[in-house]
Amino acid sequence: MSGPTPLEKPRVVLGVTGGIAAYKAVELLRQLTETGHDVTVVPTKASLQFVGAPTWAALSGKPVAADVWSQVHDVPHVRLGQSADLVVVAPATADLLARAAHGLADDLLTNVLLTARCPVVLAPAMHTEMWEHPATRANVALLRERGVLVVEPAVGRLTGADTGKGRLPEPTELADLCRQVLAGTVQDLLGRRVVVSAGGTREHLDPVRFLGNRSSGKQGYALARAAAARGAEVVLVSSAGLPDPVGVTVLRVTSALELRDAVLAEARSADAVVMAAAVADYRPAERQRHKRKKTETHTVELVQNPDVLAELVARRHEGQLLVGFAAETGDADADALVHGRDKLARKGCDLLVVNEVGETGHPTGFEGDNNAATVLASDGASYDVPLGSKDALAHVVWDLVAVRWTGRLAGTS
Three-state secondary structure of the chain: CCCCCCCCCCEEEEEECCCCCHHHHHHHHHHHHHCCCEEEEEECCHHHHCCCHHHHHHHHCCCCCCCCCCCHHHCHHHHHHHHCCEEEEEEECHHHHHHHHCCCCCCHHHHHHHHCCCCEEEEECCCHHHHHCHHHHHHHHHHHHCCCEECCCEEEECCCCCEEEEECCCHHHHHHHHHHHHCCCCCCCCCCEEEEEECECCEECCCCCEECCCCCCHHHHHHHHHHHHCCCEEEEEECCCCCCCCCEEEEECCCHHHHHHHHHHHHCCCCEEEECCECCCEEECCCCCCCCCCCCCCCCCEEECCCHHHHHHHHCCCCCEEEEEEEECCCCCCCHHHHHHHHHHHHCCCEEEEEECCCCCCCCCCCCCEEEEEEEECCCCEEEEEEEEHHHHHHHHHHHHHHHHHCCCCCCC
pLDDT at 411: 38
Residues 213, 305, 355, 371: which is the catalytic one? 213
Q: State the CATH number of the domain containing residue 343.
A: 3.40.50.10300
The answer to whether residue 412 is domain-embedded is no
> Do 223 and 240 form a contact (C-beta atoms < 8 A)?
no
pLDDT at 5: 52
pLDDT at 377: 95
The answer to whether residue 165 is domain-embedded is yes
The answer to whether residue 321 is domain-embedded is yes
How far separated are the first and last CA of the chain, in Å rounded?
34
The verdict on whether omega for the bond into residue 10 sits within 30 degrees of 0, i.e. cis, is no
| C-alpha span between 66 and 43 (Å, rounded) | 5
- Say whether pTM exceeds 0.85: no
Clarify whether residues 110 and 238 are in a common domain.
Answer: no
Clarify whether residues 199 and 291 are in a common domain.
Answer: yes
Look up residue 319 and give its amino acid.
Answer: G
The answer to whether residue 326 is domain-embedded is yes
Q: Does 213 qualify as catalytic in the annotation?
A: yes
Clarify whether residues 200 and 125 are in a common domain.
Answer: no
pLDDT at 6: 52
Clarify whether residues 166 and 253 are in a common domain.
Answer: no
Supply the range of the domain harboring residue 306: 193-406
Clarify whether residues 113 and 135 are in a common domain.
Answer: yes
Q: Return per-residue pLDDT of the chain as tens, 413 residues.
A: 445 555 578 999 999 999 999 999 999 999 999 999 999 999 999 999 999 999 999 999 998 887 765 665 454 567 888 899 999 999 999 999 999 999 999 999 999 999 999 999 999 999 999 999 999 999 999 999 998 999 999 888 888 778 889 999 999 999 999 998 998 788 899 889 999 999 999 888 888 888 878 789 999 999 999 999 999 999 999 999 898 898 899 999 999 999 999 999 999 999 999 999 999 888 888 887 878 777 767 788 888 999 999 999 999 999 999 999 988 776 667 777 888 899 999 999 999 999 877 554 445 556 678 899 999 999 999 999 999 999 999 999 999 999 999 874 443 33
Clarify whether residues 233 and 102 are in a common domain.
Answer: no
Report the domain count for the chain: 2
| C-alpha span between 300 and 283 (Å, rounded) | 10
pLDDT at 413: 37
The answer to whether residue 2 is domain-embedded is no
Of 154, 182, 210, which marks where a domain is finished? 182
The answer to whether residue 358 is domain-embedded is yes
| C-alpha span between 189 and 406 (Å, rounded) | 11
Clarify whether residues 274 and 387 are in a common domain.
Answer: yes
What is the torsion angle, in degrees rounded to the nearest 10, for the CA atoms of residue 196, residue 200, residue 202 and residue 208? Answer: -130
The answer to whether residue 6 is domain-embedded is no
pLDDT at 247: 87
pLDDT at 72: 55
Clarify whether residues 246 and 392 are in a common domain.
Answer: yes
| C-alpha span between 85 and 354 (Å, rounded) | 36
Clarify whether residues 50 and 199 are in a common domain.
Answer: no
Of 182, 201, 216, which marks where a domain is finished? 182
Of 182, 205, 240, which marks where a domain is finished? 182
The answer to whether residue 147 is domain-embedded is yes
Clarify whether residues 54 and 124 are in a common domain.
Answer: yes
In 3D, which of 192, 84, 191 has the Cα closest to residue 146?
191
Q: State the CATH number of the domain containing residue 23.
A: 3.40.50.1950
Clarify whether residues 73 and 170 are in a common domain.
Answer: yes
Clarify whether residues 162 and 216 are in a common domain.
Answer: no
